[in-house]
Chain A
Amino acid sequence: MTSRRLLWPALVLVALLLLNLVITPSFFALRLQDGHLFGSLVDILRNGAPTLLIALGMTLVIATRGIDLSVGAVAAIAGAVACTHIADGGGAVTGMALALGVCAVLGLWNGFLVSVAGIQPIIATLVLMIAGRGIAMLLTEGQIVTVDDGLYRKVGAGFVVLPIAILISLAVLAAVALVTRRTALGMLIESVGVNPEASRLAGVRSRTIIWTVYVFVALCAGVAGLMISSNVSAADANNAGLWIELDAILAVVIGGTSLAGGRYSLTGTLLGALIIQTLTTTVYTIGVPPEVTLVFKAVVVIVVCLLQAPRLAPVPRRRTVEEVAVR
C-alpha cells in the first residue's frame, strides 16, 4: 500500500531528473573541490534543505489531522532572535539556542490552541502566521540585521564535504525516522489521526501527542530559519521563510500523506520536497524566467491531486448493485 502511494511521486521525480539530463548532459556530474562536493544534485539538496526540514515536522502535524501555517513566521523569528543576539555581541551558540528556545515556546502556543483550546488547526496557526512576522520585525526593528560570525555562517553555508544544511536535514530525517519507529510516537500519531475517538477510548493521551508534534514542527522551522538566515548572514524578517509553509505542506501532500490525517510517509515527504526543488532547478535550466516556476508548481499540484484523487467518490449504490450482480 505504502509503496503504491510512493510510486507516482517517485516517477515524477525521476522524470524531472531525466528531463534535466536531456537538457544538460552534465546534470548528474559531481566534482570535489577543496574537499567540498559540488554539482546540480548537491545544489538541489542544499536549496531544498529548509523546506525538507519543515516538511518533516509538517508531516507529523498533518498525520494528526492538523496543519501549521505559522512555520514561515517562526523561521523568520528564529533568524531574527539569533541575529539580533549575535549583533548585540552574543555568541553564535547561545544565539541559536535562544532562537530554538523561542521556537519551542511558539510551538507550545500553537499546540495549546489546538489541543487544549480545541481551535481548528488552520485558524489557530493563522494567528501566529500573521502576528509572527510582526514579532520578527519588532525584534529586528524593521531592519535587515547583518552579522559577521564564522560559526553562525557555517550552519547555512558551511561544508563538511557536503553542505552542512544538507547534513542537518538528512540527520533530522534520520532522527525522525528512528524516533517514530523506535518509540511508539509514530504509531500513536497515526492512531490519533486515523481514529481520534477509538484512540481516546484506548487510553491514548492525544493531547500530549498533538502538543509534541506542534513543538517539533516549530523546532524544525527554527532550524530552517537559522539555515536561511545563516546562509546570507542576515535576518530579513520580511522575506525569510516567506511562503515556505506552503511549499512544506505541498511537499507533504505530493508525498502522499493525506491532509485528512492518518498514515504518513516520511519518504514521501522527502520525495515531495525533492520534486519541488528539482522543479525550480529544472525551470532554471530550461531557460524560463525563474519566477514562472510557480506556474509549473501549480501544474504539479494539480497533476498530483488528480493522480491521488479518490477516484471521484463512487456512487455507493451503483457499485453495490454491480458487485452483487457479479456475485
Chain B
Amino acid sequence: MTEPLVDLRGLHVEFPGVKALQAVDLRLFPGEVHALMGENGAGKSTLIKALTGVHALNAGEIHLDGAPVSFAGPAQAQAAGISTVYQEINLCPNLSVAENILLGREPRRFGAIDGRAMRARAAELLSRMGLTIDPGSALGNHPIATRQLVAIARAVAVEARVLILDEPTSSLDAGEVAELFRIVRVLRDEGVAILFVTHFLEQVFAISDRVTVLRNGKVVGEHVTSELSRIALVSEMLGRELGVLAEVERRAERRTADPAPLLRAEGLGRAGAIAPFDLELHAGEVVGLAGLLGSGRSELARLLFGADRADTGRVLLDGRPLRLRSPRAAIARGIAFSSEDRRAEGLVADLTVRDNMILAMQAARGWTRQVPRRTADELVARYLARLDIRPANPDAVVGTLSGGNQQKVLLARWLITRPRLLILDEPTRGIDVGAKAQIQRVVTDLAADGMAVLFVSAELEEVVRVCDRIVVLRDRHKVAELSGSDIGVDEVMELIASGSHRVEVSS
C-alpha cells in the first residue's frame, strides 16, 4: 500500500453544545474510491467541511502528501487540489456548460474571454470523461444528472488530486448512477483520490474500495469494502452488534387494531421518489417505516398526506377513494403530518408557542373564525402539560426552544386537530433522550386510544419498540412488511441490508 494522499488525524469539531466530530481519522489513497457512510447527523458533512476549510478545527491535523496543511476556505482547498461537488449543485443554470466548467480560469485573447477556446477546452475535458455534451448549451436545459456530471467536470478541471462527492446520487436514477460511476472509475484510474459520500448500500459495494463509517461524530470502522458484508455495514451504521441485542421492552401488547383498515394505499407512487406500493393502516396501531436515509421513507409519508402529489395509484379512506390534492384536503379528512425537517417545514420560528400549536386548527377554520382565546389557552395549557414542554410558556417564541421541545410543539399542533391518522416523520431525530422517550410514550398512548399512527424513524430499535407492524423500504421500494410480536432488530436490519429488491416476508 502506498502512502495516503490525505491523512486526517484526530479531528475534533465542536459547535455550541454539540460535539460534531470526535477524534476522527480518515485516510484517502490515490487511485482509490473511499466511501463515507453514516445516517443523518453522523457528521459526514461536518467532516467534509472540516477537510475543505469551511469549519475550523478544534483539534487535529490534516496532512496532504505528508505535509500538514490548513485551509481557510474551499478556494484554498481547491488550489491545493481538493475539489468538492456538493449534493445541491453549485452551478449557474443560466450559463453555458463550458462557462460553468471554466469560469474563473477561462482562456482569454487580448483580454477578452475567448469563447471558442473555452468551448474547445470544455469539450476536451468532457470527452476525457467520456461525455458528449454540447459545451455551448445552457446548463439549465440539461437534466439534474448531467448537471452533476458537469459539476464533476468543473471539479477536475483544476487538476484535482482529491475529489469529494457529497451525496451525488441522491436524485439520480439507475442509468444515471451507472454513468456517474463510469466517470468516477475513469478518474480513479487516473490516480485521483475520491471520497464518496452516500447512504446507498448498493453503491458502496458497487464503487468503493474502502469504507469509513461514522456514527454520532465518531469513526466506528474503516474497512476494505471487499472484506465487508452488508449486514456488518448496516449494523455499524445503526449501531447494533448482531446477536447481542438487548431485549427491548415492547409497548404494542396493550393495543388491538381495528380489523377494517382506516386508510388503504393501492399502487401509490411518485416517479423519482417512491416506487408504487400498497399499504394498509388501521386505527389503534402504530406502523413503522424503516429504511436507510434515501430509501423513500419520507417520500412515502409525504404522499399519504398530499404534501407531494402521487403519479400513480390511489388512496382509500374508510373504503372510499380520497383525492389528496393538497395538505388541506388531507387535514380535512383527519390526516396529520409532521415533517422530518422541523425548521423548514414545521415551525413558524418567529411566532409564539401558542400560535404554532394552534396553527393547523386555525388554518382549518379559516381566518375569519378565530379559535376563541379561552379554547386556545386551554388546549395549549393541556398539551404543554401533557407533553411536558419547557418552558411551559405559551408566549415564548418557538424558535428559542430546544429541539425536543420544538418537536413536541409540532406534535401538539397536530394532536389539537384530533386526527384519525397521525404521520410522524422522524419525530425524534436530533433531540435529547428524555424528550425522545416522552414522544415514544405519547405515540403508543395515542394508538391505544384508537388513533392510527405511521411512525418513520431511522432508528431501528425505536421502530421495533414502538410499532406493531413494520414496513421496510430499500432504494425507494417497499421490500417487506413485518408484523407480530416477535419482530427483531436483526430481522429488519437484514431486510434493509439484503441485496435483491423484493423479499416478501410476513409472519
User: Measuring CB to CB, which residues of chain A are less than 8 angstroms from any residue of chain B?
Assistant: 1, 182-185, 187-188, 190-191, 194-195, 197-205, 208-209, 212, 262-263, 317-318, 320-321, 323-324, 327
Contacts and interface: CB of A to CB of B under 8 A. Distances in A.
Interface in B327-352: 327-328, 331-332, 337, 339, 344-351
Given A198-B345, A198-B347, A202-B359, A327 B56 contact: no
B360 interface: yes
Contacts of A1: 397
Contacts of A200: 326-327
Nearest to B56: A321
B363 A205 contact: yes
B99 interface: no
A194 B356 CA distance: 12
A197 B332 CA distance: 18
Interface of B: 14-16, 54-56, 58, 305, 307, 326-328, 331-332, 337, 339, 344-351, 355, 358-360, 362-371, 397, 413
Given A197-B345, A201-B337, A188 B350 contact: no
A324 B16 contact: yes
A124 B239 CA distance: 54
Contacts of A190: 348, 350-351, 355
Contacts, number: 98
B58 A201 contact: no
A183 B56 contact: no
Contacts of B359: 187, 191, 199, 202, 204
Contacts of A198: 339, 344-348
A317 B16 CA distance: 12
A184 B56 contact: no
Given A1-B397, A194-B350, A327 B364 contact: no
Given A184-B365, A209-B367, A320-B16, A201 B349 contact: no
B243 to A, nearest CB: 40
Decide if the interface of chain A is mainly helix, strand, loop or mixed: helix
B331 to A, nearest CB: 4
Nearest to B354: A187
A204 B339 CA distance: 15
Given A203-B327, A317-B55, A197 B344 contact: yes
Contact of A324 (B58, B351, B367, B371): B58
Contact of A184 (B14, B337, B370, B397): B370
22 contacts: A183-B370, A187-B351, A188-B362, A188-B367, A190-B351, A195-B344, A195-B347, A197-B344, A198-B344, A198-B347, A198-B348, A199-B348, A199-B359, A201-B339, A201-B346, A202-B360, A205-B328, A205-B366, A262-B350, A317-B56, A320-B55, A324-B15
Nearest to B414: A202
A239 to B, nearest CB: 37
Contacts of B337: 201
Given A184-B365, A195-B348, A318-B56, 19 more contacts: A182-B370, A184-B362, A184-B369, A184-B370, A190-B355, A191-B359, A194-B349, A195-B349, A198-B339, A199-B363, A201-B307, A201-B345, A202-B360, A202-B413, A204-B363, A205-B328, A205-B366, A317-B55, A321-B56
A197 B397 CA distance: 19
Contacts of B371: 184
B14 A324 contact: yes
Contacts of B339: 198, 201
Contacts of A262: 350
Nearest to A195: B348
Nearest to B305: A201
Nearest to A323: B16
A203 B360 contact: yes
A125 to B, nearest CB: 22
Nearest to A204: B363
B364 A203 contact: yes
A321 B57 CA distance: 9
A253 B368 CA distance: 28
A201 B327 contact: yes
Contacts of A195: 344, 347-349
Contacts of A204: 359, 363
A285 to B, nearest CB: 40
A262 B332 CA distance: 26
A187 B351 CA distance: 8
B5 to A, nearest CB: 25
Given A320-B16, A321-B56, A324-B14, A194 B351 contact: yes
Contacts of B327: 200-203
A203 B328 contact: yes
Contacts of A208: 366-367
A194 B349 CA distance: 7
B393 to A, nearest CB: 14
Contacts of A184: 362, 365-371
A195 B356 CA distance: 11
Contacts of B413: 202
A203 B363 contact: yes
Nearest to A206: B363
Contacts of B326: 200
A263 B358 CA distance: 17
A16 to B, nearest CB: 30
Nearest to B57: A321
B503 to A, nearest CB: 33
B367 A191 contact: no
A201 B340 CA distance: 12
B15 A263 contact: no
A203 to B, nearest CB: 4
A153 B15 CA distance: 65
B480 to A, nearest CB: 29
A194 B348 contact: yes
Nearest to B72: A317
